[in-house]
């Protein structure tokens, strides 16, 4: 059974409303006015033309490379200092691979990853050492990402040990502070992961990511393995941490509702490409790419409250499956499932550009985009009923 006991929270007030069971509140959408869209701040991470192709081997008796999974195929994205940037898309579109490339758990096939002005795309382990501590990752599965044989104290102090960091007052003191920051009891320093609930384990993962005072955290589906009532609490924690500690986040998720609550800017991925990117309001209220429309219109399908029927809007049901990334469609990769597709879509890949009517920094890759006046769908994005209840304080 999932039980979220928040014992202490002094460093950052993340426990507001969640100590009492069922009272957790999902923070409201962040302000992202036109000003924010026009001047998003100083770039921290700049990814250009990033490619990751995984070789496909075949043949007998000699195995040769017979093809490639085009997991990430030439993406550009920028994350600014202290910004939360959401990366969304269906399963298999290349989100996790992007996260792993940025944290350099994977080596790119080509392209550049510039962190604070330095290209780290092909940096060696030694070259990466000085910035390793600044880029951290939070993983999807809190069950498998923590070593079951290590105490919480050992897990959280691990990164400090590896990097030879001795904070004032010692590592144990710092770990206890971190436990408080993430809303856990510092007295649980000597406990093991199995003694915690799923949500608490993800808090341990967050504390471990914070141990080296990172400037950028790549959070790969950090709440999708959690019970829906716990998701709100962990999103709340991440948002508070981002705001209070000024950490930039690349927040990877398939759930548009969650990303909306966490990100000032959002990029939508499809089959290894970014097909639309912009500030949160542009993406959710004035999406131009048919795929973004489809994703937004599909969100109520995962809820049980019939939100789309109430608003009288039609849901867009995408035909067919996502094509194989080994042999993606020519031209626009979305064309095989797109109701607006024409001949040009098969022959010319649409560039990711600012369309007339779009705000600055709202880019779309489509030959036949939706009109900028096409009805906003933000109100269609209904959270799962449990999250909605939390958001409305109905707990």
Ligand X SMILES: Nc1ncnc2c1ncn2[C@@H]1O[C@H](COP(=O)(O)OP(=O)(O)OP(=O)(O)O)[C@@H](O)[C@H]1O
- Interface ranges with ligand X (CB under 6 A): 54, 69, 71, 89, 91-97, 254, 325
Instruction: With H, G, I as helix, E, B as strand and everything else as coil, classify residue 264.
Output: coil
Tell the smallest beta-carbon distance from residue 346 to ligand X (Å): 22
CA dihedral 308, 314, 315, 318 (to 10 degrees): 180
70 or 200, CB closer to ligand X? 70
Tell the smallest beta-carbon distance from residue 226 to ligand X (Å): 15
Tell the smallest beta-carbon distance from residue 95 to ligand X (Å): 4
Residue 124, C-beta contacts closer than 8 angstroms, at least 6 positions apart: none
Residue 380, C-beta contacts closer than 8 angstroms, at least 6 positions apart: 296, 297, 299, 300, 307, 308, 311, 313
121 or 152, CB closer to ligand X? 121
C-alpha neighbours within 13 Å on the C-beta side of residue 79: 28
56 or 376, CB closer to ligand X? 56
Question: How far apart (Å, rounded) are the C-alpha atoms in residues 1 and 322?
Answer: 35
101 or 204, CB closer to ligand X? 101
Q: Name the pairing type of β-strands 273-279 and 363-364.
A: antiparallel
Question: How far apart (Å, rounded) are the C-alpha atoms in residues 70 and 67?
Answer: 9
Tell the smallest beta-carbon distance from residue 92 to ligand X (Å): 4
Find the largest Cα–Cα distance for the chain. Answer: 67
Tell the smallest beta-carbon distance from residue 87 to ligand X (Å): 9
Query: 1: which DSSP letter?
Result: -
Tell the smallest beta-carbon distance from residue 96 to ligand X (Å): 3
- Identify the H or E element spanning 44: strand 43-58
Picking from 18, 119, 40, the residue whose alpha carbon sits closest to that of residue 280 is: 40
96 or 264, CB closer to ligand X? 96
Tell the smallest beta-carbon distance from residue 321 to ligand X (Å): 12
CA dihedral 127, 129, 133, 138 (to 10 degrees): 80
Tell the smallest beta-carbon distance from residue 94 to ligand X (Å): 4
Tell the smallest beta-carbon distance from residue 304 to ligand X (Å): 23
Cβ-count burial 16-51 (b if 16+ within 10 Å, e if not): ebbeeeeebbbbeebebeeebbeebeebbbbbeebb
Tell the smallest beta-carbon distance from residue 225 to ligand X (Å): 11
Helices (H), 1-72: 34-38
89 or 307, CB closer to ligand X? 89
205 or 325, CB closer to ligand X? 325
97 or 242, CB closer to ligand X? 97
Round the CA-based radius of gyration of the chain to a whole number and report it. Answer: 21
Peptide bond into 61 cis (omega under 30): yes
37 or 268, CB closer to ligand X? 268
71 or 366, CB closer to ligand X? 71
Peptide bond into 284 cis (omega under 30): no
């Amino acid at each position: 059974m999932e039980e979220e006991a928040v014992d202490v929270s002094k460093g950052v007030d993340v426990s507001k409303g969640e100590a009492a069971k069922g009272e957790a509140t999902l923070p409201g959408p962040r302000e992202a006015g036109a000003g924010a869209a026009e001047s998003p701040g100083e770039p921290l991470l700049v990814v250009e033309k990033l490619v990751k192709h995984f070789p496909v081997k075949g043949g007998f008796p000699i195995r040769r490379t017979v093809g490639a999974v085009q997991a990430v195929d030439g993406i550009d994205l920028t994350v600014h200092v202290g910004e939360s940037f959401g990366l969304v898309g269906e399963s298999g579109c290349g989100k996790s691979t992007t996260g792993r490339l940025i944290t350099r758990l994977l080596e790119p096939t080509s392209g550049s990853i510039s962190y604070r002005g330095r290209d780290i795309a092909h940096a060696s382990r030694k070259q990466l050492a000085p910035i390793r501590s600044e880029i951290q990752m939070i993983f999807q599965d809190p069950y498998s990402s923590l070593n079951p044989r290590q105490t919480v104290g050992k897990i959280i102090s691990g990164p400090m040990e590896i990097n030879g960091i001795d904070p004032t007052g010692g590592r144990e003191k710092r770990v206890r502070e971190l436990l408080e920051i993430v809303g856990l009891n510092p007295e649980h320093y000597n406990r093991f992961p199995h003694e915690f609930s799923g949500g608490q384990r993800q808090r341990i993962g967050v504390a471990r990511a914070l141990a080296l005072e990172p400037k950028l955290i790549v959070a790969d589906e950090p709440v999708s393995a959690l019970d829906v009532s716990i998701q709100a609490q962990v999103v709340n924690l991440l948002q508070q941490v981002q705001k209070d500690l000024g950490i930039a986040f690349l927040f990877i998720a398939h759930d548009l509702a969650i990303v909306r609550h966490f990100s000032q800017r959002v990029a939508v991925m499809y089959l290894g490409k970014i097909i639309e990117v912009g500030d949160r309001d542009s993406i959710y209220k004035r999406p131009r790419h048919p795929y973004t429309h489809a994703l937004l219109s599909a969100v109520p399908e995962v809820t049980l409250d019939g939100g789309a029927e109430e608003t009288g809007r039609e849901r867009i049901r995408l035909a067919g499956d996502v094509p194989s990334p080994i042999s993606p469609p020519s031209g626009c990769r979305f064309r095989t499932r797109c109701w607006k597709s024409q001949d040009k879509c098969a022959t010319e890949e649409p560039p990711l550009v600012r369309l007339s009517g779009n705000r600055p920094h709202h880019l779309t890759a489509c030959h036949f985009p939706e009109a900028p006046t096409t009805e906003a769908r933000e109100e269609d994005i209904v959270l799962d009923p449990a999250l909605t209840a939390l958001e409305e304080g109905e707990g």
